[in-house]
A and B are shown apart, each in its own frame.
Chain A
């Protein structure tokens, strides 16, 4: 039989249909799609909670929510966005793209891949339950601790906290299993000729992210388990009266929590490393130094966690160490941003939507990173810590960082996934409305922090009124803009101009040698890489 005939033959025989196709999927493209759809729905759920927060903060006084419900909503906003939206979206893109980019027929462990995804809806249900349970008799108090879950406050919370601990375990297991899959795939299944130093940066970014996840997720799992034991089994890990230490939880949490932010940003940086060269029509500047910088970021990022804890009462030596370590991370991050700018320099750029998001990310993530350097300085952080300045900082690195990286990736690869070009005009409108309203929403929050407004408060003194009002109005527009994004995505899935194999003029990489969309099984014969 000729190769073409046998390919068609296997296509017909092994292509599942109906609900079984999705529930039992072992196909990296389908699992990638599942992750992305899950992430999109969670993104809207997290967005609704953000809208509730901004609605309450629009005016001074208690209007819509009571304090514990507000604290619960802000806890959920963070947990849903981080664990429900950004991480699964990143994993979805990784699943779709890594095999295509390295010339592999699928991930190394396809059934493990299925499990990694299907744990997530269960975890999401646990998270939603943790929110709902207090509304029923005997349901206990709400989780009013913030996503950092510090004891002793988190020991006081009702059974919602136990549901949440369970959800965190599930989310962690999903991430660790997916990470194992990614590492094994990248190490073993690259096409002949594709050495590690010829691999796309997006794959390198996920390779580093996967190691980070495996290293730090067990720590937070341990921490929340100790919390569970303190809550129910009479232990005193975090109870000073019993000989324990509340600050221990903080260290365990942030030992995970700081690398977590690199876990959120590295895939976005990886996506940018594909998008910017494509739209500059010029190869990535500094491939080797970018790989090195990512490795340095990951390593250094693991040993600077206590910059989230400058006010706990650490010794001068400890706090000096963390300050210097944190400030030094600006070096590899600066190098990567420089490499992106140098890629654009003397390129021949066009500004389709992926490039718009990529450019916005370079500019605004730099801004967020600079406020990060300001925060690293301990004496100044004494004023910024736990104020709205921190909230402004991390939204500037998370939204123009992680989220815009994901948007750039989605718009870049939607033609490959669906076979249709998305509506470029609508997408550009989405970009501008989103970017401008984002900036208004969060730029003014820097000043609120400097003026003395703490974070995580439901009500504030009248001196903070004007900027809160501006932030809420802009925030509403920012939130609503995402409905346009939803419309664009749905419209693209349903139809549009047929996409070429190489949908973008300047795009390079193995994925662009496949049809758009690729067949159910792709790279069944490995390509030769020169």
Chain B
């Protein structure tokens, strides 16, 4: 393997600029699961075979170009096809290629089975991954925890991590097989984390399965790998693999936080305008601004403006309705399954009063509940 790697480096060094970033190198990121290691190995195998074949082909052709030239006085051999080689090569060459093919296919087949067949084990962690335009939703099915994971904006992402960092990471334990169930809420997306060694399409109406068993703690970054519209470039995936103990703590904390938020939303109280606006602003900037923009001006024609729009200044009910139920045929999703009454009330209140809209409406959670 080491020899192959250095052989591989040669065309690299010839073609690539000296400024190649040391951080990511010229190959796959370091694998963090056994299957990712096997994938790396089969990749190096096919790359090694391809390099050897290429050196062979280039060698033969360069030799031919040098030797069999009219300018060197070479006379063309009109009977070449009658030689032994000429007669039998049409069988020999395909047989040799077949041999190479079977080597590759045989090696690939074993890894493929291990990759494809999700192991049946006790204690597997089940995570449902839902692609949205343009963020990921992770649901830890046994613990009942829901996480929404969005790209951090440029001014908030740590240095050098814009488009590769998110607000809420996917926290997973090491040394425990995790089963991922993939689906989508709108269009096709794909979850890809190179270090973990899987990629799967997120297709609405389908539930597809992958699995991984991470053996090294660390942070692993990936991106959406299926063109899903405007912000396909801005849907990173960040997995944080921690020890089993840290994971248990994290689960407990997340559950508690979720319970607290649910209790707050269900509390039968009258919320003040100031509280609603503060909550609404935070939620709007996180969840709505990627399309409708922080300044509410949208991005015509795909994402309408909310500043000064008939919907946000006019009657309340159509406004709540479109947030709850979305607009079929457009990128506006139904939020009723994703946000609770308090969150929707806060967002709608913010939209009705920000950017000079100033309707003075304070929407309460019970108003939203009535329209569900």
A residues contacting B by CB (< 8 A) are 66-68, 71, 134, 139-141, 144-146, 150-153, 155-156, 158, 240-241, 245-247, 280-283, 285-286, 288-289, 311-313, 316, 319-320, 323-324, 327-328, 330-332, 334-335, 337-338, 341-342, 344-351, 359, 362-363, 366-367, 370-371, 373-374, 377-380, 382-383, 385-387, 439-440, 443-444, 447, 450-452, 454-467, 470
Contacts and interface: CB of A to CB of B under 8 A. Distances in A.
A461 B163 contact: yes
B176 interface: no
B154 to A, nearest CB: 8
A288 B87 CA distance: 12
Nearest to A153: B187
Contact of A363 (B58, B94, B205): B58
A466 B19 contact: yes
A378 B233 contact: no
Contact of B227 (A347, A385, A456, A463): A456
A366 B231 CA distance: 36
A313 B129 CA distance: 14
Contact of A444 (B16, B75, B232): B16
18 contacts: A67-B233, A151-B187, A153-B188, A240-B204, A283-B78, A316-B117, A341-B60, A370-B50, A374-B46, A377-B104, A379-B42, A386-B199, A444-B16, A450-B28, A451-B29, A452-B192, A454-B232, A466-B21
A385 B115 contact: no
A140 B330 CA distance: 11
Contact of B197 (A152, A382, A457): A382
Given A363-B58, A452-B222, 19 more contacts: A141-B302, A240-B204, A246-B188, A247-B203, A282-B78, A334-B93, A334-B97, A341-B57, A347-B77, A349-B69, A366-B57, A377-B104, A379-B39, A380-B108, A382-B39, A459-B233, A461-B164, A463-B23, A463-B24
Contact of A383 (B100, B163, B199, B302): B199
Interface string B6-45: 0000011001110111011111110000010011001100
Contacts of A344: 61, 64-65, 68
A444 B20 CA distance: 10
Interface in B200-215: 200-201, 203-206, 208-209
B281 interface: no
Given A341-B60, A380-B42, A457-B232, A452 B29 contact: yes
Nearest to B111: A379
Contact of A379 (B26, B76, B108, B227): B108
B101 A246 contact: no
Contacts of A467: 16-17, 20
Contacts of B335: none
Nearest to B102: A327
B92 to A, nearest CB: 10
B86 interface: yes
Contacts of B160: 461-463
A378 B108 CA distance: 7
Given A319-B112, A452-B194, A387 B225 contact: yes
Given A344-B61, A380-B46, A454 B76 contact: no
Interface residues on B, range: 35 or more
A235 to B, nearest CB: 14
A285 B80 CA distance: 8
Contacts, number: 301
Contacts of A144: 227, 229-230
Contacts of B11: 443
A238 to B, nearest CB: 10
Nearest to A290: B90
A68 B187 CA distance: 15
Contact of B21 (A282, A377, A386, A463): A463
B101 A281 contact: no
B189 to A, nearest CB: 10
B224 interface: yes
A464 B223 CA distance: 13
B89 to A, nearest CB: 7
A363 B81 contact: no
B19 A379 contact: no
Contact of B187 (A152, A312, A332): A152
B161 interface: yes
Contact of A454 (B29, B58, B223): B223
A316 B81 contact: no
A327 B227 contact: no
B50 A327 contact: no
Contact of B15 (A153, A245, A386, A444): A444
B84 interface: no
A95 B204 CA distance: 46
A522 B11 CA distance: 50
A525 to B, nearest CB: 31
A312 B208 contact: yes
A324 B108 CA distance: 10
A144 B302 CA distance: 11
Contacts of A452: 24, 28-29, 192, 194, 221-223
A245 B203 CA distance: 9
B53 interface: yes
A313 B209 contact: yes
A349 B81 CA distance: 17
B329 interface: yes
A311 B200 contact: yes
A134 to B, nearest CB: 7
B68 A371 contact: no
A373 B46 contact: yes
B361 to A, nearest CB: 30
Contact of A338 (B58, B71, B93, B105): B93
A313 B42 contact: no
B123 interface: no
Given A145-B227, A377-B108, A342 B80 contact: yes
B113 interface: yes
A465 B221 CA distance: 17
Given A152-B188, A348-B76, A382 B198 contact: yes
A338 B199 contact: no
Contacts of B182: 313
Nearest to B187: A153
Contacts of B93: 334-335, 338
B129 to A, nearest CB: 13
Given A280-B76, A346-B80, A379-B108, A286 B90 contact: yes
Contacts of A66: 299
B355 to A, nearest CB: 21
Given A379-B42, A460-B233, A156 B331 contact: yes
A471 to B, nearest CB: 11
A378 B115 CA distance: 10
A332 B94 CA distance: 7
A347 B198 contact: no
A320 B329 contact: no
Contacts of B352: none
Given A139-B301, A380-B43, A386-B226, A316 B54 contact: no
A451 B68 contact: no
B234 interface: yes
